[in-house]
Structure 1
Amino acid sequence: MYTIEKFDQQGLHFFKLKDETSYVDVCPERGGIVTSFHADGEDILYLNEATLFDTTKNVRGGIPVLFPIAGQLTDKSYVWNGTVYEMANHGLARTRPWAVVHQASDESHTELTLSFQSSAETLESYPFQFEVLLTYSLADGKLSIRQKITNLSAEPMPAYPGYHPYFNISDKQVDLKSRATKYLDYNDNQIKPFTGSIDLDGLKESVVLLPDQADTRLEASFSAEKKLIIEQDDTYRYDVLWVEGDAPFVCIEPWTAKTNSLNDTKESLLMVAPERPLELNVSFHLADR
């Protein structure tokens, strides 16, 4: 039987989606973030708890939600309709509280829906009225995330959301099954051939896979016994890989556009029409190698 439990830890409020063998922890007030995902006897996500409980810091770990942009902006700014706006790395959602609007459980799954809405504060960085709904669902050891973006403004709204999962992978030599035959290395801005494995050890900046056709299923080495499966809509056109020194994680991040697209490649933006919601789906689970 699937259930949802609420619990508190060090002043933060959490929701635990669980069955007998797997669970997902979500902290709405810390950017709607998934902080833990346990399935197949494995803790699938890395989490630096000190950054979670220190609310002055960006959370290092879990699955940060990137909206309305994924990545960075040159000088942390962009121009829209002749006006300069400033926005922090990875957008607005990951540093602001989300509200719980729905929860449900039955014999087959459990789900929790969170809402993030525009405010006077967000309008200073992003001149659009919006609502984003995130539905986290746990079923059969798989974590699924459905995102629904509604533009409440009168004009089309640019966005290129993503996620920043920190997977509990210590080996920086990552084997990947992908459609990509090349990748962009942000360490030297060179496009390089991809042959199914990338050594991320020692890299400061990220690399991004460049498939000719978007990957809807990505397989990555997780451990000697398990592989990580990422299933995603083809709207997620890029998967970004990043490590940080010797920290025991590898980030494999579904993105809908490349970094700085609000400045560099406006034609790649997702333009959400007024009152015509955009839905995106991604899921994560383990399988035997």
Structure 2
Amino acid sequence: MTLTRHDAPFPHWVLTAASGDQLRVVPERGGLVVGWRCGGEERLYFDAERFADPSKSVRGGIPVLFPVCGNLPGNQLVLPQGSFPMAQHGFARDLPWDLAALEAGDGIRLTLSDSPATHSAYPFRFQLSLDYQLEPDALAIRAVVEHRTGAADAGPMPFALGLHPYLQVESLAQARVDGVPEQCWDHLTAAEAATADQLARLEQGVDLRVECLGAAGSGPQVCTGDGTAVELQMQPPFVHAVLWSDPPRPMLCLEPWSAPRGELGQHLLPGERCELRCRYRLTVV
């Protein structure tokens, strides 16, 4: 395993496994993974031109959603401590993270801790770490959320965690989604809908959530149109998968969430921690 710094086309780090698989990451921009090369091909969509404009939200890679997935009513986090401004998908994707190589295996650890920049929106001492591990034909992700002790707040720390991978597809017309339940929640209409009807509209744009409460490790998969598929395997509390398309971009997001949109489904007392795991596995179809 090697972890090297590169300056072009923008500053980033490259993790290269013995197999030749790679991760590319920009810790300073929200701990953003901007590339995952697996099986000789790039598996993530990434809009480098949009990334070059910091005033625009990222389209591509694997943004991190914390401490909320989606948006809260009025973009306000209401707590016993008061009301705090909270942007859509939280603040983790906008802050610099620390980067380190894992001691074992082909992986990296990205870490974000509370700071004066987070206290104005989230009055808790916390640490969030993300381990990305390159495995044969897979990318394994382990997240640990910790409510750190020693803070003035003694109450529970609510949070939700999500990842927002942009999977590259040949085209939305060729993409297919398998392994999903018959019913879903349509974020666009805020109503339950037939999943098949929604997936027939990938080229028009979809934003839906399915619950994956079956056997551990099973999950939906995106058939990318090139003879391969990427399957999302999740472990609770990752039990929600969000599918999102943004036509005409040749990408389809397949996102593990720990809570529905706008809900902070997990709570940690000071000193407690929560571990969340998921895995993206490449298969031939």
Scaled by the length of structure 2, the TM-score of the pair is 0.89
Distance 2:212 2:142 in 1: 23
Change (3 A) 1:37 1:13: closer
- Could you tell me which residue of structure 1 aligns to residue 260 of structure 2? 258
| Aligned residue runs from structure 1 range 185-224, under 5 A | 185-195=186-196, 198-201=199-202, 203-204=204-205, 206-211=207-212, 213=214, 216-218=217-219, 219-224=221-226
Deviation at 1:223, TM superposition (A): 2.1
Q: Structure 1, residues 139-190: CA drift from partner, whole Å, max 9, x if none?
A: 2131111111110143221011000110102225532213x23101122222
CA distance in 1 between partners of 2:235 and 2:213 (Å): 15
Which of 107, 112, 117 aligns to 2:113? It is: 117
**Counterpart position of 1:168:** 168
The CA deviation string for residues 220-259 of structure 1, in whole angstroms up to 9 with x for no partner, is: 2122411111111121121111111211111111111111
Q: Greater CA deviation, 11-20 or 26-35? A: 11-20
Instruction: Write the distance in 1 (CA, Å) between the matches of 2:196 and 2:204.
Output: 18
Alpha-carbon distance in 1 for matches of 2:197, 2:179: 6
Deviation of 1:54 (Å): 2.4
Gaps of 5+ in 2: none
Describe how 1:2-13 pairs up with structure 2 within 5 A.
2-13=1-12
Maintained 8 Å contact 1:174/1:200:
no
Q: Which residue of 2 aligns with 1:73?
A: 72
Aligned counterparts, 1:16-27, within 5 A: 16-27=15-26
In 2, the alpha carbon distance for the partners of 1:206 and 1:284 equals 20
Alignment deviations for residues 88-111 of structure 1 (CA, whole Å, 9 cap, x no partner): 111111010001244446xxx311
The root-mean-square deviation of aligned C-alpha atoms, in Å, is 2.2
Do 1:15 and 1:27's aligned partners in 2 also have CA atoms closer than 8 Å?
no
Task: Structure 1: give runs of 5+ residues left out of the alignment.
Answer: 263-268
Superposition pairs of residues 118-133 of structure 1, within 5 angstroms? 118-133=114-129
Aligned residue runs from structure 1 range 100-111, under 5 A: 100-104=99-103, 109-111=105-107
The corresponding residue for 1:146 is 142
Give 1:17 deviation, angstroms.
3.3
CA distance in 1 between partners of 2:120 and 2:21 (Å):
40
Matched, 1:92 2:88: no
Per the alignment, residue 155 of structure 1 pairs with 155
270-279 or 3-12: bigger deviation: 3-12
The alpha carbon displacement at 1:200 in A equals: 3.3
Contact 1:238 / 1:255 at 8 angstroms: preserved in 2? yes
- 1-structure distance, mates of 2:78, 2:215: 28
TM-score relative to the length of structure 1: 0.88
1:247 aligns with 2:246: no
Give the number of equivalent residue pairs: 278
Separation (CA, whole Å) in 2 of partners of 1:184 and 1:86: 26
